[in-house]
């Protein structure tokens, strides 16, 4: 893009997406005062919220078109039949392993740029010349400037930003509409809360809070879109915290429920633990790079590089020197040379271990936000919030923000960090899936499933599958929000019964919900009908397939990390099992609770409409697999080094697979995943669909394991003992130290002073005063004795004077010199 074109497109996108970002904020400001400009029975605040976020979707779509035409749809043109079998089979095998087997020393990075000898993937060429060809960066306004340091509110718009904007606004619009129906029992002046029991067996009554719910949703949309639009990592942190507080407000929406407010606190504090790491990462980056911007792609400002451009050159390589603790990464100046420190004239560099620490710090934030091990326990509790919140905040958008950030920040992650990410994701996906098998609360099954799926995304990023991770982020957002809304429809229809043991057979009562849920279940399980040329499948198959292909390719290069493929593969089966279990327990079979069944009803169209829309997207959003439009959009933003793969012989030897290698394992992984999913689904049918085996017998045989899973691997108890209680103990110590020692010292000093002054007084009275008194007494006595002279008789006085004068004259004559 020429500078003029860049400027005009940048300005257009800045305002389009900026407006889409700020509309919900404006909506929030009006809606939060809904109690004043309208009454509690009005839907006006909800329509306003829908209008704002819907307007955001329209603006995002316009932005998409603007961006596409400004780049001449380059993102779509460059990926030519990437997925074509002949192409991949023909070219890759001989060339790709050379790039990833570790045969090359890291010191010869130039060779990495050409992993294939044959015709490269089109976007590889685009990346090699200019990795930010489709990205526009710029600034909204300045927060503060200190000499050469500047913190701004920036924007960074590439195809990933636009995809995220469209996904968030579309899903949020659907969820807003759904919530209008779901929350309609708040449209009252006297809402009775059956969950809150007051002393005396009364129920709790309060005015409805319809408008407040929508104002919080609007605030959340603002924060989430800001997070996506952010052009620097500091700004991400700002909106990171803001989505966190929105999540806090929404989880604790029923403020009168103790469980809700506790869950809200837990969510916020555990996120803060992650943010503590995030903050450490920020400090390191700030001190060593002096900038927070991702990348500066403005052709008018060459030589003002962002973080990515400083760490990696145009080919995505890190230049480093030294070994051990002296190992350091040379920073680039964005013009093709090394950055030079202005003061000393020395080339700038950052110690390698600090780059790892910074990466791990930022990732710690992602762990908190995306509920990864070991900070995963807040997400299931967050289901205390209303179901639309769970759909929007705690499955589709906010919890995925951690994955988004890990993807956005990918160029800053060195392979050591990626390996940690991969293992964290791997552990998480397994823990989440195992717990989901035993949970019977319909929303909590979905919550654990979310944890598990987020683990998949992290795993994908960690094993070098940037595309696979973000692909799954988008598809998961659609099918998981769909399933949450469907579960919300069930809960609404069953009058707030959430336990699946009370359900069953609801298919006959709420058919549309049941079918919508089935679409989601098939999508997440990854079932497909394989055909010779392509698989007919819903979105989840494509993205999960991409993840497993990446991890299989990774395992093929790093045999010692075999768990990174086997656990996800097994978990794919578990996923299918627990998702079908959910569907069978809820919708098929006989009603387990006749009362619930009798009163169950299908939801109104304002709730079913969004379900239908989301079902369509859950089914087809990934159409075409890795050659489809969504995939092409994502590929256009893929960091260069993820395309080629890399061989690293550092502290940990890791070989990251490139596209070509991944492609090679695609078919194998796809078949394995499909088999696993089928096994899971069939087992689920055996247990819960057909009832051939009674799950209760299995449960009683494995009661120890079952209770371990029911207790969520005992994490809550562990954290309570490890952190919560010790903190309170230390707090009491601090309080006691103040009272006992600091104040004690003070009081002792005070007492000492009083004691000294008592002695002082005694000294005064006995010594000083006595001396004074002696003088005084003597004077008094002298005076008293002289008193006798004062007789008052004039003659006597005259006589005294006469004698006195006489005496003076005698003395004068006697002593004065002549």
722 is a site residue for another protein (CB under 8 A): no
- Quick one: which of 495, 599, 728, 751 contacts another protein (CB under 8 A)? 728
273 is a site residue for another protein (CB under 8 A): yes
- Residue 179 CB, nearest distance to another protein (Å)? 21
Q: Which helix (H) or strand (E) holds 536?
A: strand 535-537
Q: How far apart are CA 303 and CA 305, in angstroms?
A: 6
269 is a site residue for another protein (CB under 8 A): yes
Q: How many residues does this entry show for the chain?
A: 818
Closer Cβ to another protein, 258 or 495, answer by number: 258
213 is a site residue for another protein (CB under 8 A): no
258 is a site residue for another protein (CB under 8 A): yes
Closer Cβ to another protein, 81 or 743, answer by number: 743
- Quick one: which of 47, 76, 140, 204 contacts another protein (CB under 8 A)? 204
Q: Which stretch binds another protein (CB under 8 A): 249-257, 425-433, 672-680, 798-806?
A: 249-257
Q: Which stretch binds another protein (CB under 8 A): 264-272, 324-332, 396-404, 801-809?
A: 264-272
811 is a site residue for another protein (CB under 8 A): no
What are 686-692's contacts with CB under 8 Å, separation 24+? 687/581, 688/580, 688/581, 688/584, 688/585, 688/588, 688/589, 689/580, 689/584, 689/588, 689/589, 691/589
Q: Which stretch binds another protein (CB under 8 A): 87-95, 132-140, 261-269, 764-772?
A: 261-269
- Quick one: which of 10, 113, 115, 252 contacts another protein (CB under 8 A)? 252
Which of positions 446-475 make contact with another protein (CB under 8 A)?
A: none
Closer Cβ to another protein, 562 or 733, answer by number: 733
First to last CA, the chain: 123
CB 293 within 8 Å of CB 306: yes
CB 713 within 8 Å of CB 431: yes
- Quick one: which of 83, 272, 319, 699 contacts another protein (CB under 8 A)? 272
756 is a site residue for another protein (CB under 8 A): no
Q: How far apart are CA 803 and CA 809, in angstroms?
A: 10
716: three-class secondary structure by DSSP:
helix
280 is a site residue for another protein (CB under 8 A): yes
230 is a site residue for another protein (CB under 8 A): no
CB 74 within 8 Å of CB 133: yes
- Residue 308 CB, nearest distance to another protein (Å)? 20
Closer Cβ to another protein, 215 or 615, answer by number: 215
Q: Which stretch binds another protein (CB under 8 A): 233-241, 329-337, 591-599, 763-771?
A: 233-241
384 is a site residue for another protein (CB under 8 A): no
- Quick one: which of 68, 290, 691, 695 contacts another protein (CB under 8 A)? 290
752 is a site residue for another protein (CB under 8 A): no
x/- letters, 127..156, toward another protein (CB under 8 A): --------------xxxxxxxxx-------
Going 153 to 156 to 160 to 166, the CA torsion angle's sign is: positive
CB 402 within 8 Å of CB 305: no
- Residue 702 CB, nearest distance to another protein (Å)? 38
Q: Which residues contact 591 (CB under 8 A, 6 or more apart)?
A: 503, 504, 505, 506, 597
The DSSP letter of residue 230 is: B
- Quick one: which of 132, 155, 165, 239 contacts another protein (CB under 8 A)? 239
- Residue 28 CB, nearest distance to another protein (Å)? 12
- Six token digits for residue 808: 């003076």
- Quick one: which of 283, 566, 698, 748 contacts another protein (CB under 8 A)? 283
Beta bridge partners of 193: 204
189 is a site residue for another protein (CB under 8 A): no
Q: How far apart are CA 674 and CA 678, in angstroms?
A: 6
Q: How far apart are CA 118 and CA 93, in angstroms?
A: 11
777 is a site residue for another protein (CB under 8 A): no
The alpha-helical segments, DSSP class H, found in 692-724 are: 695-701, 703-710, 715-719
- Quick one: which of 262, 498, 593, 679 contacts another protein (CB under 8 A)? 262
- Residue 815 CB, nearest distance to another protein (Å)? 47
- Six token digits for residue 668: 């194998």
Number of residues in contact with another protein, rule: CB under 8 A?
58
x/- letters, 604..643, toward another protein (CB under 8 A): ----------------------------------------
x/- letters, 8..47, toward another protein (CB under 8 A): ------------------------x--x------------
DSSP string, 344-408: T-PBPEEEHHHHHHHHHHHHHHHHHHTT-TTSTTHHHHGGGS-HHHHHIIIIISHHHHHHHHHHH
- Residue 351 CB, nearest distance to another protein (Å)? 12
> Is-cis flag, bond preceding 374, omega within 30?
yes
The alpha-helical segments, DSSP class H, found in 145-209 are: 159-182
248 is a site residue for another protein (CB under 8 A): yes
720 is a site residue for another protein (CB under 8 A): no
Q: How far apart are CA 161 and CA 814, in angstroms?
A: 122
268 is a site residue for another protein (CB under 8 A): yes
Q: How far apart are CA 699 and CA 208, in angstroms?
A: 42
Q: How far apart are CA 316 and CA 318, in angstroms?
A: 7
366 is a site residue for another protein (CB under 8 A): no
730 is a site residue for another protein (CB under 8 A): yes
Q: Which helix (H) or strand (E) holds 265?
A: helix 258-289
Q: How far apart are CA 340 and CA 327, in angstroms?
A: 18
The residue ranges that bind another protein (CB under 8 A) are: 32, 35, 141-149, 193, 196, 198, 204, 206, 237-239, 241-242, 245, 248, 252, 255-258, 261-262, 264-265, 268-269, 272-273, 275-276, 279-280, 282-284, 286-287, 290, 727-728, 730-735, 738, 742-743, 746
């Amino acid at each position: 893009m020429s500078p003029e074109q860049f400027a005009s497109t940048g300005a257009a996108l800045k305002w389009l997406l900026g407006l889409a970002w700020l509309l919900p904020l404006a909506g929030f400001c009006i809606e939060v005062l809904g109690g004043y400009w309208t009454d509690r029975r009005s839907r006006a605040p909800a329509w306003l919220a829908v209008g704002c976020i819907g307007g955001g979707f329209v603006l995002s779509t316009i932005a998409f078109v603007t961006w596409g035409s400004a780049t001449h749809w380059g993102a779509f043109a460059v990926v030519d039949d990437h997925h074509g079998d002949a192409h991949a089979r023909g070219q890759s095998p001989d060339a790709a392993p050379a790039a990833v087997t570790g045969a090359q020393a890291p010191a010869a990075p130039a060779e990495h740029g050409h992993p294939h000898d044959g015709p490269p993937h089109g976007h590889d060429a685009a990346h090699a010349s200019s990795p930010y060809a489709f990205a526009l960066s710029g600034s909204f306004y300045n927060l503060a400037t200190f000499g050469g340091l500047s913190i701004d509110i920036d924007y960074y718009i590439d195809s990933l930003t636009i995809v995220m904007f469209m996904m968030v606004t579309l899903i949020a619009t659907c969820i807003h509409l759904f919530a209008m129906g779901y929350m309609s029992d708040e449209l009252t002046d006297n809402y009775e809360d059956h969950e809150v029991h007051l002393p005396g067996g009364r129920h709790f009554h309060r005015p409805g809070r319809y408008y407040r719910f929508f104002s919080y949703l609007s605030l959340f949309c603002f924060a989430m879109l800001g997070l996506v639009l952010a052009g620097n990592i500091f700004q991400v942190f700002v909106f990171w915290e803001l989505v966190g507080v929105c999540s806090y407000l929404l989880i604790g929406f029923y403020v009168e429920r103790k469980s809700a407010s506790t869950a809200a606190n837990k969510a916020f504090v555990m996120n803060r633990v992650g943010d503590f790491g995030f903050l450490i990462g920020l400090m390191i980056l700030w001190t060593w790079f002096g900038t927070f911007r991702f990348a500066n792609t403005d052709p008018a400002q060459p030589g003002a590089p962002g973080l990515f451009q400083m760490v990696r050159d145009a080919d995505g390589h890190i230049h480093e020197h030294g070994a051990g603790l002296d190992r350091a990464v040379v920073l680039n100046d964005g013009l093709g040379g090394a950055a030079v420190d202005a003061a000393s004239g020395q080339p700038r560099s950052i110690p390698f271990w600090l780059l790892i620490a910074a990466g791990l710090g930022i990732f710690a934030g992602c762990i908190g936000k995306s509920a990864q091990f070991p900070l995963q326990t807040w997400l299931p509790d967050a289901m205390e919030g209303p179901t639309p919140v769970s759909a929007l905040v705690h499955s589709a958008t906010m919890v995925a923000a951690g994955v988004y950030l890990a993807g956005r920040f990918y160029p800053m992650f060195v392979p050591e960090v990626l390996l940690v990410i991969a293992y964290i994701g791997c552990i998480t996906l397994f823990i989440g899936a195992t717990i989901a098998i035993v949970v019977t609360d319909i929303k909590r099954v979905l919550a654990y499933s979310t944890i598990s799926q987020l683990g998949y995304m992290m795993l994908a990023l960690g094993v070098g599958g940037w595309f696979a991770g973000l692909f799954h982020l988008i598809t998961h957002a659609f099918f998981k929000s769909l399933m949450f809304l469907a579960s919300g429809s069930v809960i609404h229809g069953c009058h707030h019964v959430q336990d699946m043991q009370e359900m069953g057979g609801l298919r006959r009562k709420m058919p549309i919900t049941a079918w919508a849920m089935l679409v989601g279940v098939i999508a997440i399980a990854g079932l497909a009908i394989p055909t010779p040329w392509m698989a007919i499948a819903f979105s989840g198959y494509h993205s999960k397939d991409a993840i497993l292909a990446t991890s299989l390719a990774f395992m093929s290069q790093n045999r010692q990390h075999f768990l990174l493929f086997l656990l996800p593969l097994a978990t794919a089966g578990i996923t299918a099992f627990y998702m079908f279990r959910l569907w069978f327990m809820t919708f098929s079979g006989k009603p387990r609770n006749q009362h619930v069944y009798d009163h169950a009803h299908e939801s109104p169209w304002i709730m079913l409409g969004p379900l239908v829309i989301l079902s369509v997207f859950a089914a087809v959003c990934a159409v075409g697999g890795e050659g489809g439009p969504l995939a092409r959009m994502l590929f256009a933003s893929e960091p260069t080094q993820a395309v080629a793969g890399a061989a690293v012989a550092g502290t940990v030897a890791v070989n990251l697979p490139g596209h070509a290698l991944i492609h090679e394992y695609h078919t194998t992984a796809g078949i394995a995943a499909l088999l696993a999913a089928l096994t899971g689904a069939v087992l689920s049918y055996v247990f819960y669909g057909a009832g051939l085996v009674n799950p209760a017998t299995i449960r009683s045989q494995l009661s120890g394991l079952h209770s371990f899973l029911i207790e969520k691997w005992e994490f809550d108890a562990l954290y309570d003992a490890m952190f919560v209680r010790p903190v309170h103990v230390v707090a009491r110590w601090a309080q006691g130290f103040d009272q006992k020692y600091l104040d004690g010292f003070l009081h002792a000093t005070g007492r000492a002073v009083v004691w000294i002054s008592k002695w002082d007084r005694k000294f005064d009275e006995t010594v000083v005063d006595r001396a004074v008194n002696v003088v005084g007494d003597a004077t008094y006595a002298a005076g008293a004795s002289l008193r006798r002279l004062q007789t008052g008789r004039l003659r006597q006085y005259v006589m005294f004077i006469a004698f006195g004068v006489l005496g003076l004259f005698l003395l004068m004559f006697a002593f004065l010199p002549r």
